[in-house]
Chain A
Amino acid sequence: MGQTLSVRQLEAWYGSNKTLKGINMEVASNHVTAIIGPSGCGKSTFVRCINRMHETMPGTKVKGEIVLDGESIYDQDPVALRKMVGMVFQKPNPFPSMSIYENVVAGVRLNGMRNKQNLQGIAEKSLRMAALWDEVKDRLNYSGMSLSGGQQQRLCIARALAVEPSVLLMDEPASALDPIATTHIEELVRQLKEDYTILIVTHNMQQAARIADSTAFFLNGELVEHGATSEIFTNPNDKRTEDYITGRFG
């Protein structure tokens, strides 16, 4: 099951550069929430704060509060948190020294699972959820790098799902992919929301309109507007949102 997230007064810095200026936002469980906005608006930083990945970069700072299922994420060990909040990155990043199978179970193995039968079960289940099983079931021992870009990205999704998180963060997961691979990923996202709370960063507004239940528009480190996707795209409250979605800037 997915879980709700509430973000309160979140501020984040890269060195002296303040990239998030007090974000307040509620993220519904089992919804796809799209984060849109022009480059440099802080949308990537925002999702990277949710699994505390932002802090792993040198010179960064975070203030504020993020509550996941009633508990502050800053009261938790980041390592434990990241098992509940999975992440898929902009570019597919399978581990090149591992086979497809090893890639999928990499996170589960880190958690101490050694039983081969269980691992195989998890691998199959995760690959099925990522809609990749049929394409790779006969060559699980091949390198993850032998797959196409779109398949690699679905492999990375399977790898994230295998750990059984409740929230899935996706940072422009289709931006490096061709249109057909993008369609696959989008379809997948729509299916996955049954089990997960999904936050997806995208610079592609059509993509947000196609897959997201709600959409948040970020600009210069601030959350301008957050609402049902249909509302945001047809009847935005803020002039800046309207200007952005009608293509006047960005």
Chain B
Amino acid sequence: MSKKRILTTSMGDQTLRLLTLLMAVSVLVLMAWMGWQMFDAARLSIQKFGLSFITNRVWDPVKEQFGALPFIYGTLVTSLLALLLAAPIGLGVAIFLNEMAESKFRAVVGFLVEMLAAIPSVVYGLWGIFVLAPWLRETVEPGLAKWLGFIPLFQGTPVGFGMLAGGLILAVMILPTIAAISREVMAAVPNMQREAALALGATKWEMIRVAVLPYAKSGIMGGIMLGLGRALGETMAVTMVIGNRPDILPSLFAPAYSMAAVIANEFTEATYDLYLSALVEIGLILFGITLVLNFFARLLVWSVARGPKGGNVV
């Protein structure tokens, strides 16, 4: 009797193991399969243009000229801009909510910040069209041009719709991700660590700098990378404000285009195979960029999280 029982338990565990293994493997298979399918669909374009697809800056479907550089540029610049704006603010929000705010206030503001993540991106896009872009055109861009106009980034006609608008709207969209994750990892820092710093005569800021941030840094970086992932792939809101012009101009005011936006906008208009194939190749590149960035992000997180254990030089 008892023997049978032990057998059933282990059978159950074995089944569980197999089942979960299957689930885990299915994710990998799905990813590889997607990559392969995209590669297959992009084959026509890859064979025709080769590496020049990435370096060519002309995108002219009428003349069958396809270069992805403007889209890569637009995606990277807007995402980077979003990250530069959202990372410090998100971190600041997290620090304030976790270390400074009264608990009632913390709950309310924390909830509101996280609500930002629940707003559909098309709504962000509408807000971008009717509020953000006009505001940039009439107030922000002329101001930037006046004070910082000696930098090429802030030269040119204020259009409103362009990379600055794209970057800003992405910043608002990834802010809650960065803030929420940073807040969570900071909340997980043991109070003992804070008290250790305070007992040495640390001010609040010194306590945050010495005890909280180093302890939470790998989690914070994880949150920032998650934000970056969202920014790279965001389609709707960006396409509504970026201006959708496949061009590489130094000014942030100038209209541009992003990879996700061009796929969404031109997919239905792709009237011949090479056109379609070129769009799929852009998707493949976006896929690749996301993977590579995530890989380096992991590497970065791993290297900072390791700390001085193995006898690193101070």
User: Measuring CB to CB, which residues of chain A are less than 8 angstroms from any residue of chain B?
Assistant: 51, 53, 56, 58, 79-83, 86-87, 89, 91, 93-99, 101-102, 106-107, 110-111, 139-143, 145-146, 156, 159-160, 163
The interface residues of chain B lying within 8 Å CB-to-CB of A81 are 201
Known: A58-B103, A142-B309. A95 touches B210 (CB 8 A): yes
Report yes or no: A91 in contact with B192, Cβ–Cβ below 8 A: yes
Known: A58-B103, A91-B192, A110-B210. A142 touches B308 (CB 8 A): yes
Interface presence of B200 (CB below 8 A): yes
Q: For the complex, what is the distance from the CA of A87 to the CA of B194, rounded to whole Å?
A: 13
A-B contact count (CB 8 A): 96
The interface residues of chain B lying within 8 Å CB-to-CB of A91 are 192
The interface residues of chain A lying within 8 Å CB-to-CB of B127 are none
Known: A95-B193, A95-B210, A110-B210. A146 touches B309 (CB 8 A): yes
- Beyond A53-B199, A91-B192, 17 additional contacts (C-beta under 8 Å) are A53-B195, A56-B198, A79-B203, A82-B198, A82-B200, A89-B195, A89-B199, A93-B195, A96-B307, A97-B215, A98-B308, A102-B308, A106-B197, A111-B201, A146-B309, A156-B196, A159-B196
User: Measuring CB to CB, which residues of chain B are less than 8 angstroms from any residue of chain A?
Assistant: 102-103, 190, 192-193, 195-203, 206, 210-211, 214-215, 217, 307-314
**Cβ-closest chain A residue relative to B218:** A97
Q: For the complex, what is the distance from the CA of A56 to the CA of B207, rounded to whole Å?
A: 12
Report yes or no: A99 in contact with B314, Cβ–Cβ below 8 A: yes
Q: For the complex, what is the distance from the CA of A80 to the CA of B312, rounded to whole Å?
A: 33
The interface residues of chain A lying within 8 Å CB-to-CB of B202 are 79, 82, 107, 110
**Cβ-closest chain B residue relative to A144:** B308
CB distance from A16 to the nearest CB of B (A): 16
The interface residues of chain B lying within 8 Å CB-to-CB of A111 are 201
Known: A99-B308, A141-B314. A83 touches B196 (CB 8 A): no
The interface residues of chain A lying within 8 Å CB-to-CB of B312 are 99, 141
CB distance from B152 to the nearest CB of A (A): 39
Q: For the complex, what is the distance from the CA of A111 to the CA of B203, rounded to whole Å?
A: 10
Partner of A89, one of B103, B192, B214: B192
CB distance from A129 to the nearest CB of B (A): 16
The interface residues of chain A lying within 8 Å CB-to-CB of B201 are 79-83, 107, 110-111, 163
